A and B are shown apart, each in its own frame.
Chain A
């Protein structure tokens, strides 16, 4: 395994992609929480 890829989970091809997943999941969570707030308030 390439040293720079050590530790990457199997479904991710680069560290950059993993960082993008983290940021996108944050945006999705905020959207989901907004829905939650509006639905139950």
Chain B
């Protein structure tokens, strides 16, 4: 990065932090601090919900995922629009009518304090851990750029967000989300345009897509039904539906966003627009990754995209062995480039038989190169003693190596802003659940509004420190975007099951749903450890098991249902 990049990066980040602190000046009560006085319009909700979900991981991992595994990851989001419809019909009117601050308050009104406590605890556990992963993503960038140890960059990333989340409330969050999403969208559009512009003059946008496609990177749709295949249309629609319904319906980091809506209609429209925009946005991010893959068919990519372990291995006895792998990689790339140029010719002349033949040859070359990359990662891991997985570095390395001055700074800012958006929502939801569902409800009742706002600020700070500690261990996971979703799938299904029983099974009481949830969670963790199925299905399994066991327990050991009284 040169000085222009640093100026762009710091000006962008400082303006967001400053704007966040400025917007927080009005928040003096718990309702205004946690819910912006329930006064925000739909477009705030749409952008805030999108900024919360689209973390730095989205912009770092997703293009890398497309580069290594193709664009099939987009199918993961197919259940999202359907989940938005269910939320608009069921969850939003209920949450608004009870004037809730957290989603878990509803469970005490419907069941009992024990069920509310269990669900809040599962949320805190899951969100606290996954926020650690969200902090790790931008820390990785800073570590790579500055050459600092990941420990210091983790602390720096987590602390920068704390600066305005401790002082700023839901209103500050929402206004900064608006700005962040504007800059993030602009940055990703520019990145997409730049990849196409950097292609050789004779290679057009569609040529690049053909090249990526012939090597399996434009595999967006897979209709094959396979329980052990992570991403296909069915796992996306069914498993993804349950995951997204649970995430948006029961995760306080998202519920807290649409509870800020000025009415049921504004909250509904906010989520409905998210249902329309999310899949195209995710597709475009993955498309950038596929185009980066096409770009590297004409320019030799590094054997391993993370520079740090590559520099470290040079000082070890493995240096020569790694050098030999690099030489082999270079030769294979040159050979493949010739094949790609032949493919371009065949496509131009619409020579179908030659295209088919070259597709087979290129697939074989690609398999050989992937094998070489794996060999290099294993060698780096052995030599440096740390897991060398470079999926999250692919897009970053492309940005820093090939984009012009100024744009590098802007795109690094985009990734950091995305992180700030999601981590800020997470900090706030962790604080609001700790304070509203535990501190205010159980431990310290009947204090003033000012006391609870101060307690919320302290809770935000403490959760920030916890998440930074988790971030330190995040490198043990592979692709971070997958790690976050796996973690969510372990808990979301069970939490969703509890809420679905609350909404749709009026005869089932608190005792049955509590024990149903405990048994369901044990089974989900067991299924994951034993690798019984792909992780997306855990959402469905957890949800169905809670409903099933709660129904069985209620039938054997009935309990008088609790009367529900809304405030409207």
Contacts and interface: CB of A to CB of B under 8 A. Distances in A.
Partners in one complex: yes
B272 A22 contact: yes
B266 A7 contact: yes
A11 interface: no
B265 A7 contact: yes
B219 A41 contact: yes
B110 interface: no
A34 B221 contact: yes
Interface in B185-236: 209-210, 212-214, 216, 218-221, 233
B210 A40 contact: yes
Contact of B272 (A3, A18, A36, A39): A18
Nearest to B280: A29
B82 A23 contact: yes
Interface stretch (B84-92, B157-165, B174-182): B84-92
Interface string A2-37: 011111110000010011011101100110011011
Contact of B220 (A3, A7, A22, A33): A33
B400 interface: no
Given A5-B265, A8-B269, A25-B81, A36 B218 contact: yes
Contacts of B436: none
A21 B99 CA distance: 29
Contact of B214 (A5, A19, A41): A41
Contacts of A26: 78, 81-82, 279
Contacts of A9: 269
Contact of A40 (B74, B213, B263, B266): B213
B476 to A, nearest CB: 33
B362 to A, nearest CB: 12
Given A7-B264, A30-B233, A36-B220, A22 B210 contact: no
Contacts of A23: 81-82, 85
B42 interface: yes
Given A7-B42, A41-B213, A41-B216, A33 B74 contact: yes
Contact of A6 (B89, B221, B266, B275): B266
Nearest to A21: B276
Interface in B261-299: 263-269, 272, 275-276, 279-280, 283
Contacts of A33: 74, 220-221, 283
Interface residues of B, number: 33
Contact of B221 (A21, A22, A30): A30
B221 A37 contact: yes
B233 to A, nearest CB: 7
A14 to B, nearest CB: 12
A36 B290 CA distance: 13
A6 B264 CA distance: 8
B95 to A, nearest CB: 15
A3 to B, nearest CB: 8
Nearest to A39: B213
A25 B220 contact: no
A5 to B, nearest CB: 7
From B81, B89, B209, B266, residue with most partner A Cβ within 10 Å: B81
Given A36-B220, A37-B220, A41-B213, A25 B276 contact: yes
From B85, B233, B263, residue with most partner A Cβ within 10 Å: B85
Nearest to A29: B279
Interface in B470-526: none
Contacts of B78: 26, 30
A41 B221 CA distance: 11
A34 B303 CA distance: 32
Nearest to B80: A26
A19 B89 contact: yes
A36 to B, nearest CB: 6
Nearest to B209: A40
Contacts of B89: 15, 19
A22 B276 contact: yes
A19 to B, nearest CB: 5
A19 B269 CA distance: 10
Contacts of B280: 29
Nearest to B206: A40
Contacts of A39: 213
A11 to B, nearest CB: 12
Interface of A: 3-9, 15, 18-19, 21-23, 25-26, 29-30, 33-34, 36-37, 39-41
14 contacts: A3-B265, A6-B264, A6-B265, A7-B268, A19-B89, A23-B81, A23-B82, A26-B82, A33-B221, A36-B218, A40-B210, A40-B218, A41-B214, A41-B219
Name the 10 nearest CB pairs between A and B, nearest first. Answer: A7-B265, A40-B213, A6-B265, A33-B220, A40-B218, A7-B269, A34-B221, A26-B81, A37-B221, A19-B85
Given A7-B269, A41-B214, 11 more contacts: A6-B263, A6-B264, A7-B265, A7-B267, A8-B269, A18-B272, A22-B85, A36-B220, A37-B213, A37-B221, A40-B209
